[in-house]
Amino acid sequence: MKTALVTGATAGIGAAAVRTLVAAGWRCIATGRRAERLEALVAELGSDKVHPAVFDVRDTAAMEAAIARLPEDFSGIDLLVNNAGLAQGLGPAQEASLDAWRTMIDTNVTAMVTITRTLLPTLVARKGAIIAIGSVAGSYVYPGANVYAGTKAFANHFTLALRADLHGTGVRVTSIEPGMVETEFTLVRTGSQDASDALYSGFQPMTAEDIAETIRWIAELPPHLNVNRIELMPVDQDFAGFRISRTS
């Protein structure tokens, strides 16, 4: 039985990834700050299948301690799913909160590279895999995406760079770059359930399960096959267009 560590498993894509991987026969280490949600996953899926690891990904010491005290059955990690992340705010850069910018960089960039570096020796030893959740926002910017888009461009590119460095190790590396997925993402970004409901209404956004199934599919490909990057969108989402201002 293979073991995955999924960051950000208390909600959205990460929680769906744990459910999908466990249904496919994996063990999962489910991480996040909200302990009660991780305990609910354990109750739902079984303590032999899910190990809860409660920590803030930005807290390196807490992350390292959680990994150091993994039960033996969960200690051989074959797959790292770099998923934990967030956006904060949708306003223009000139009005944005510097604290929000730093939170996004600390979470989506610094924490992601830190846990990756921590787990690389294990992943190399086990010829494992890394799947990172980047975003279309890292390739196509839109107004208000500013630092979020920057962090996701980093995620997309760092993941491809890992693939280059891991050449010859047998470790597989994939950047999954989704467009709109209905999760708690917009609630976290805006602080408003109404804003979240409005954004996802009137069309069919992707679901967390759509992305989880993509993660499972990639993770279970034969060992000689690597999906480098994959971009997914709802049919009704499109690339940002160029704009002309006639007021400046």
| Nearest distance in Å: CB 128, ligand NDP | 20
| Residue 50 Cα to chain centre, angstroms | 18
Say if residue 55 is exposed, middle or buried (CB neighbours under 10 Å; 0-12, 13-18, 19+).
buried
Q: Closer CB to ligand NDP, residue 167 or residue 217?
A: 217
| Nearest distance in Å: CB 63, ligand 8X3 | 23
Bridge partners, residue 230, by sequence: 176
Contacting residues toward ligand 8X3, per CB under 6 A: 135-137, 152, 179-180
| Nearest distance in Å: CB 96, ligand 8X3 | 16
Q: Indicate which residues carry an active-site annotation.
A: 148
Q: Closer CB to ligand 8X3, residue 128 or residue 134?
A: 134
| Nearest distance in Å: CB 47, ligand 8X3 | 32
Whole-angstrom Cα distance, residue 32 to residue 114? 15
Contacting residues toward ligand NDP, per CB under 6 A: 8-14, 32-34, 56-58, 83-86, 107, 133, 135, 178, 180-181, 183-185, 188, 208
Decide which of ligand NDP, ligand 8X3, none touches 86; Cβ closer than 5 to 8 Å per partner kind.
Answer: ligand NDP
Helices (H), 24-145: 35-45, 60-68, 98-104, 112-125
Q: Closer CB to ligand NDP, residue 94 or residue 173?
A: 173
Q: Closer CB to ligand 8X3, residue 3 or residue 82?
A: 82
Whole-angstrom Cα distance, residue 129 to residue 3? 11
Q: Give residues with Cβ within 8 angstroms of 19, minimum separation 6.
A: 41, 44, 45, 212
Bridge partners, residue 174, by sequence: 131
| Distance in angstroms between the alpha carbons of the first and the last residue of the chain | 61
